[in-house]
A and B are shown apart, each in its own frame.
Chain A
Amino acid sequence: MSGSDQTRAAQTASGSSRMNRLETGTNLKSRLFQYRYIYLMLLPGILFLLVMNYLPMFGALIAFKEIDYALGILRSPWVGLQNFRFLFATGDAWVAIRNTLAYNGVFIITGPVFSVGLAIMLNELWNKRVAKIYQTLLIMPHFISFVVVSYLVYAFLATSTGYVNTQVLPVFGAEPVRWYLEPSKWPAVLFLVNGWKTWGFGTVIYLASMAGFDPQLYEAATIDGASRWMQIRRITVPLLLPMIMLLFILSLGRIFNADFGLFYQVTRAAGPLIPTTQVLDTFVYRALIRLGDIGMSSAAAFLQSVVGFFTIFTVNLITRRLKPEWSIF
């Protein structure tokens, strides 16, 4: 090893690797060589992410272009904010944004409340074996696709043959409802469907993190005379908070994204339902595939990614200020 090599390595190496160098007496070059097979193993993943994830990130800049397929994507002219002006020229985008934020607002708050609630209750049951059976059945909806869910919902809500119209409403003497034509009913329907599909999954996540809690904490609390209810409030919930916050921050990062399956499949993409069921994801899809409007759809998609990223970044920053151990990066 030449002297100049060693100085260069020392200059480029970070603090921790300098320590390694002292330990093992090797420089950066030989450490790179030492890990050559690891780099080789990492290579497919890195290439995959570069093409499938990072390339589209740069591609998102087409939101500022007017795409002309004859010229190709790279040579298409830049048009500044024109696509965004078109996007907001009609009220459609605002409706999609309003719906996305409203549904997500409700889902982000109610999801953890129901999931944590169910998890704590499951955890308190005397009979652990029965609790396990409940848990098994609670996550079942998580395993089926939204296409299947759309059939399930249709079985209940179909106008002339659906269970609700033929069996339930007549009992109350109510008139049949033409569900797929009435937008006002769908916020409630989608809330229930979403809960049915996702709360059980959340429950399992929280149960799993409860399984890691130290039982001694509860024993000590019992000795001090704390009731079970007190233990839930003072031990279980505080210990769950980091997990709740982690999932909360991640879901805030997706506040501009909605589950396409829920809003497109379950509503069967019915046109009359658009006022209350159009979200940004369905808006982008419809603009791109149905209308072939790359300008408008790319502007909406750009907003989704960028706003989502800044939300997660900001929330994480605030969290880090207030409670460093709850932040995710």
Chain B
Amino acid sequence: MAQSKLRKNEISFTANIVLHVLFVISIVLILIPFVLLVTVSFTDNDTLVQEGYRFIPSRWSGEAYRFLFASPRLVRDAYGVTILVTVVGTLGHVFLGALVGYSLTKTRMPGHTFFTFFVFFTMLFNGGLVSTYIINTQLLGFRNHFRGLILPLMFNVWHVLILRTYFATAIPGSIEESAKMDGANDLRIFFQIVLPLSKPVLATIGLFAALIYWNDWFQSLLYITNERMYSLQFVMLQTLRQIEMMQRLLAMGASGDVVDRLRDLPDEAVRFAMVIVSIGPIIFAYPFFQRYFVKGVTIGALKG
């Protein structure tokens, strides 16, 4: 009975089928580029040059990956930089966000409105790239320093708002009050009661932050010139740039020196293998990621 009643308040069978077809097409369009990426990385390099990038190449090869893992500079160093920055950055990002988010739940604190505005305003207005760049390089010493890769991404207003909403709604005020009765101060309450009770939202923001740090190349572009501090994303970016520059020089009739250096650069299959290696951890953690991601967005959306 109830079943048939429910079914009535749904779109028609035909509409349902049409929508499914539409979504399957969308999904295929989304996945196809990734598939091409994978097959290219597993294609024999000479085959790539001869017949171009194909979904089903005539000769497969795992040579690109062997080369990649054999060359320490390409992967090990860059992976090290990326992992270091991601771990330290994520911890800082979550901790700073939680501190501010929690403080802003205290609506009866003198200055609450001011502090909320102080944080929110940075979303509406910023100093622009040039001023930020000059202050960060001239005053704060970001050039070729890890803080240049970590600090600029450490604060995110959205994340603070999500954390604040969670602290304010999901943690019963009575728990904090009774802890206070027992003589705990706000610091203890925050570290020993609030944080342990907020693991879901901390994990969500942690994943957001980890993704931001893992995928960042812009801060490297601005502040890093030392090759040993190149992150994974930046190595990929630089490789493309160098190849383009060499090809341009070759086209202009450059000499054998350029040809030699071009030969030293990773070949096409290796470049695509590098991309796969860089998104590997994301794809691997993906089901996990997207569950928390949707949860985080939901908390944020309820606020808005």
Residues of A within 8 A of B (CB): 13, 17, 20, 28, 31-32, 35, 37-42, 44-46, 48-49, 51-60, 62-63, 67, 73, 118, 121-122, 124-126, 130, 134-141, 143-148, 150-156, 158, 160-163, 165-167, 196, 200, 204-205, 208-209, 211-212, 218-219, 222, 228-229, 231, 242-243, 246, 250, 253, 260-261, 265, 268-269, 281, 284-285, 288-289, 294, 297-298, 301-302, 304-305, 308-309, 312-313, 329
Contacts and interface: CB of A to CB of B under 8 A. Distances in A.
Given A126-B16, A246-B304, A60 B106 contact: no
Contacts of B140: 51
A285 B36 contact: no
B81 interface: no
17 contacts: A32-B110, A52-B151, A53-B126, A118-B26, A125-B23, A126-B11, A140-B286, A143-B282, A143-B286, A155-B53, A158-B52, A209-B302, A219-B9, A261-B217, A298-B128, A305-B125, A312-B124
B119 interface: yes
A273 to B, nearest CB: 13
Given A45-B99, A45-B100, A49-B119, A57 B130 contact: no
A119 to B, nearest CB: 11
B186 A38 contact: yes
Contact of A41 (B139, B151, B186): B186
Interface stretch (B71-79, B83-91, B293-301): B293-301
Interface stretch (B27-35, B59-67, B257-265): B27-35
A53 B122 contact: yes
Contact of A209 (B8, B10, B51, B301): B301
Given A124-B16, A143-B215, 14 more contacts: A49-B122, A53-B155, A60-B130, A124-B11, A140-B31, A166-B51, A209-B301, A218-B9, A222-B8, A294-B130, A294-B134, A297-B130, A301-B128, A302-B128
B264 to A, nearest CB: 20
Nearest to A211: B298
Nearest to A151: B275
B177 to A, nearest CB: 14
Interface string B46-58: 0011011111000
A57 B126 contact: yes
The range of chain B's interface size is: 35 or more
B169 interface: no
B60 to A, nearest CB: 17
A54 B26 CA distance: 43
Contacts of B9: 218-219, 222, 228, 231
Interface string B212-254: 0011111001100000000001001100110010000000000
Contacts of A212: 298, 301-302
Interface of B: 8-11, 15-16, 19-20, 22-23, 26-27, 29-31, 33-34, 36-37, 40, 48-49, 51-55, 96, 99-100, 102-104, 106, 108-110, 115, 118-120, 122-135, 138-140, 151-152, 154-155, 160, 185-187, 190, 211, 214-218, 221-222, 233, 236-237, 240-241, 244, 268, 271-272, 275, 278-279, 282, 286-287, 289-290, 293-294, 297-298, 300-302, 304
Contacts of A13: 110
Contact of A301 (B55, B130, B290): B130
